Amino acid sequence: MTAKSLRIAVFAGVAPRKLGSLEDTLVAIAQEARRRGHECTVFSLSPVHITFAERLGEMGGHWCPLEEIQGAPVQGMLKIRDRFDVCLITLVPFRSVLLAQTALAWPLRVVVYDGTSPPAVTRPRNRLSTLLDPLILARVAVVAAVSDFIRGRLESVFRLPRARTRTIYNGVDIARFRSPPSASSRAHDAPRILAVANLTHEKGIDLLITAMTMLRNGSAKLTIVGDGVLRGELETQVRMLQLTERVEFLGLRDDVHCLLGECDVFVHPARWQEAFGYTIAEAMAAGRPVVASRLGAIPELVQHEETGLLVPADDPSAFAEAIDTLLADPLRAREMGEKGYIRASSMFSLSASAANLVDLLEEVCSTERRTVATNPPALASVRQEPISFRSELSPRPIEASEKVGFVSQVASIARQEGITVVVPIHNAEQFLDETLRSIVDQEYSPAQIVVVDDGSHDASAAIVRRWIAKDPIIELVSVGTARGPSSARNI
């Protein structure tokens, strides 16, 4: 904890245009920050729901359009550098302009809260991301994840040590969503199925519509809440399957908690690996049994045959069978709903999630900045993800036009953070001298520079030795395998 009043910026890469759990989370963070004496400004995409903005103001927070920061990379970076002590970045891709801006906004402390669902196919890193990833991650104090699934993905993709990652589950307003079973909510003639989702291919609503044609219970009705690019196609699918009397589209709604109170089963037929599943947690908080795809972080929320049923993704018949099972046994469905409520209350509370996030921001700001020892420790004990100035995807060095400005930024951040800069090389004489000069000619206290030479047969080693004679922070490590820069990176 820190006794200092902090100026907190929350960057959310979404538009809070409804009154759902995401909007609740942003307001809760501002409320918790204010309770502890901190200032909080939320930057998000437009449009913004007027009630959300008003609630944020009531809790002592402020809202600003994220477009103002993203649309002016340099001015935006300077603005956040001068106005804030720490920032929390959520629902923003790692390889984004915003994350690069915050990385360069020294001495701003940066915390990433990753809740983005991964695509079905991960695009390979290009040359630029190979260079930028380690640089940006060196400036991120902690990477928090909304689930253990996402935490594991981050550690694998970016090779992050366990100590630099956390799991902080998303939270929902348990009191708002809790709707105890009542006679009125069970008085409807036909069983009711509810799905709440962005209407995209990844969310799999088309699968659920198809599953409706396979139900043994032909009287069940489906309510779909949400909007998106596929709404027209989905409505056409409903008409073609002659389901217009049994399937209704409500669009975006602010009363999802009321709709959950009236349904018998909540269904989440996602095709992709969900990072968390806000709507699942909401349904559990409402005491409703859940039928969902068995992938991503969903099994961390739904315990199979305890709080709901998990089925294979992209399988309409499996969803139909699971829905029929719950509709045919209302007592079992209610028991699952009650267990789901208990689990949501203990693990996915909005107030606990917001408190954990503010705790993390305070922790990051109370940690003293790393300094470089007079005698730097051995390479093995201080190794960071190497910062490489040569592409592993191409044998040619980066062109001078691509290096201008970037090398200086790498060097500046390296100096300020006190990290070791590892430069793997192989026959790199044409750009090595410029690289070392850019790193050394900085105004900040020196960091360790380790040049790893993988059996170069040009003048690379001689260039490094000349630099060592002038600056003792430079070290040359010769591998001698002659397998290229990628081999040198693994020293």
Q: Report pTM.
A: 0.72
The model's pLDDT over 188-220, given as tens digits with 9 standing for 90+, comes to 579 999 999 999 999 999 999 999 999 999 999
**Average of pLDDT values for 298-313?**
97
Q: Which residues pair with 109 in a beta bridge?
A: 86
Contacts 24+ apart (CB under 8 A), 237-245: 237/206, 237/209, 237/210, 238/209, 241/209, 241/210, 241/212, 241/213, 243/209, 243/212, 243/213
Q: Supply the pLDDT for residue 130.
A: 60
Classify domain 7-171+351-366 by CATH number.
3.40.50.2000
**Average of pLDDT values for 2-29?**
90
Strands (E), 369-473: 421-425, 449-453
Mean per-residue pLDDT over the chain, rounded: 82
How far is 83 from 185, CA to CA, in rounded Å?
50
Q: Supply the pLDDT for residue 328.
A: 96
CA proximity to 290, closest of 333, 331, 226:
333
Q: Which residues pair with 221 in a beta bridge?
A: 192
Q: Which residues pair with 42 in a beta bridge?
A: 10, 63
Domain 174-348: top CATH class: alpha beta
**Average of pLDDT values for 240-260?**
95
The model's pLDDT over 405-455, given as tens digits with 9 standing for 90+, comes to 444 554 454 444 455 677 888 777 777 877 777 677 654 444 578 888 877
